[in-house]
Amino acid sequence: MYNSKIIGLGKYLPENIVTNDDLSRMMDTSDEWIQERTGIKERRWIKEGTDDSSAVMGAKAAEIAIERSGLTKDDIDFIVFATLSPDMYFPGCGVQIQDMLDMRTVGALDVRNQCSGFVYGISVADQFIKTGMYKNILVIGAEFHSGGLEKSTRGRGVTVIFGDGAGAAVLTREEDKTKGILSTHLHSEGKHAKELVVEGPSIMHWVPEILEANDPDDVSYYPYMNGTFVFKHAVVRFSEAIMEGLKTNNLNKEDIDMLIPHQANLRISQFIQKKFGLSDDQVFNNIQRYGNTTAASIPIALTEAWEQGKIKEGDKVVLVAFGSGFTWGSVIINW
Ligand code: UT7
């Protein structure tokens, strides 16, 4: 058995910046409400007419991650792609990456675990590397939210939160069992599936039926979120997942050098920071600039923290996520 470690990180954000004031011209909202409730100042939304999509953005982030890893695309043995906004209903984005990056015919797996997608993806990659089945794995988190949001007052509770973007990591084998990814922890509670959901288009909410009914009140294909309910569960599950990871590795909260929480809401991050007694330098947030990019949020934040020199060799880095499903999880890394 081996450990795995992250040796390359990359991110891609579409150029188009959408401010809170821009949103208040589309719907009844305000910069004050959005900043006070979420901490978000602006987000990136793919501009109509550009080629960007979840797969395209993922490919751009992946190219950077591979280059920084010192490997080439031919060294990659497996692709894991996490997204809730795939380019196509099927096949998933993973195979598009195999094609776009002109890679060998390696396996490509799509992970559908929303905000926890990257944590799930890292865990999957870690297991394959641990057993020795694969040596180098590319894990991508990418989201094209803006194409599927309801840009009117009816959708404001969700629409102001989400942004587009992509992040990627290259994992490789680590022979030293005290280094790299020390453990991953995954959970789900499906009874809350409908508290944060897009019901259609799906086999249950099939497009011809939706189109035929032409019902202006049918919002099944827009995201729905019971925000307060989700918020309350998020703070509990974030804490539990961090504690579980620390306990597994005989670590204390004082051992955390860098916490990268899924960027769901700045208030959630601040709550967790306070609960674990961490300083501003020990928690990385960029939701202010990018909004919530679900599966892309952790790899984008991790990439930025690393680019800014905030993660050094030997640091204990904790990734933690919670989202639709409900799903949640954590990753404990000795960088
Ligand atoms: O990433 C996956 C996990 N996601 C999360 O963890 C998100 C968790 N939830 C949240 O972040 C927060 O619940 C939200 C930011 C979504 C909402 O904040 P809130 O403080 O829970 O607000 P609320 O939903 O209770 O709404 C308060 C009021 C309502 O008006 P009334 O009923 O009090 O008159 C809403 O209609 O704010 C209204 N409202 C808005 N007003 C202006 C909702 N959205 C908006 C908006 N602009 N965009």
178 in ligand 1 pocket by Cβ < 6 Å? no
**228 CB near ligand 1 (under 6 Å):** yes
pLDDT digits (tens, 9 = 90+) for 210-224: 777 888 888 888 899
Q: How far apart are CA 198 and CA 335, in angstroms?
A: 36
Query: pTM here?
Result: 0.97
The token duo for 299 is: 């790899």
Judge if the beta carbon of residue 292 lies within 6 A of ligand 1.
yes
State residue 225's pLDDT score.
95
What confidence tens digit (pLDDT) does each residue in 302-319 have? 999 999 999 999 999 999
pLDDT of residue 205: 77
Report, as an integer, the average pLDDT of 26-42.
Answer: 98
Tokens of 95: 């195979």
DSSP code of 283? B
Respond yes or no on whether the N-terminal peptide bond of residue 276 is cis (omega within 30° of 0): no
- CA–centroid distance, 88 to ligand 1, in Å, is 30
Q: Which residues are catalytic?
A: 115, 262, 292
What percent of the chain has a predicted confidence (pLDDT) above 90? Answer: 92
Long-range CB contact pairs, 300-303, < 8 A, 24+ = 300/11, 300/13, 300/141, 300/165, 300/166, 300/167, 300/263, 301/167, 301/260, 301/263, 302/6, 302/9, 302/167, 302/169, 302/260, 303/9, 303/10, 303/11, 303/61, 303/65, 303/167
Residue nearest to ligand 1 atom 45, measured at CA:
157
In the reported structure, the alpha carbon of residue 34 is separated from the centroid of ligand 1 by a whole-number distance in angstroms of 9
Mean pLDDT of the chain: 96
What's the 326 CA to ligand 1 centre distance in angstroms?
Answer: 18
10 Å Cβ neighbour count for 119?
30
Residues in the chain: 335
231 lines ligand 1 (CB under 6 A): yes
Which residue minimizes the CA distance to atom 26 of ligand 1? Answer: 157
Say if ligand 1 is within 6 A of residue 160 CB.
yes
Residue type, 257: D
Residue 216 has a pLDDT of: 83
| Residues in CB range of 87: below 8 A, 6 or more apart | 53, 54, 55, 93, 96, 144
> How many Å lie between the centroid of ligand 1 and the Cα of residue 61?
31
What is the model's pLDDT at position 231? Answer: 97
| Pairing mode, strands 224-225 and 196-197 | antiparallel
Q: Count CB neighbours of 277 within 10 A.
A: 10
Confidence band, pLDDT 50/70/90 cuts, at residue 238: very high
Interval 50-109: pLDDT, tens? 999 999 999 999 999 999 999 999 999 999 999 999 999 899 999 999 999 999 999 999
- pLDDT of residue 265 exceeding 80, the answer is yes
> Ligand 1: does its nearest atom lie under 6 Å from the Cβ of 29?
yes
Pocket test for ligand 1, best of 37, 230, 267, 272 (most atoms within 8 A of CB): 37
Report which of 253, 334, 314, 320 is spatially closest to residue 285, judged by C-alpha positions: 320
Q: What does the pLDDT read at residue 156?
A: 97
Choose which residue among 265, 324, 328 to substitute to test ligand 1 binding: the one with the highest number of ligand atoms within 8 A of its C-beta: 265
Q: How far apart are CA 38 and CA 57, in angstroms?
A: 25
Largest interatomic CA distance in the chain: 59
Neighbours of 274 (CB within 10 A): 10
Find out whether the beta carbon of 37 lies less than 6 Å from any atom of ligand 1.
Answer: yes
- Decide if 167 contacts 296 (C-beta within 8 A): yes
Question: Residue 202: what pLDDT?
Answer: 82
Residue 37 Cα to ligand 1 middle (Å): 7
* Residue closest by Cα to atom 41 of ligand 1: 29
Distance, in Å, from the CA atom of 246 to the CA atom of 20, rounded to the nearest integer, reads 37
Domains annotated on the chain, with CATH: 3-177 (3.40.47.10), 181-334 (3.40.47.10)
The CB of 149 under 6 Å from ligand 1? The reply is: no
Distance, CA 187 to ligand 1 centroid (Å)? 25
Q: Which atom of ligand 1 is nearest to the CA of 267?
A: 11
Mean pLDDT within 293-307: 98
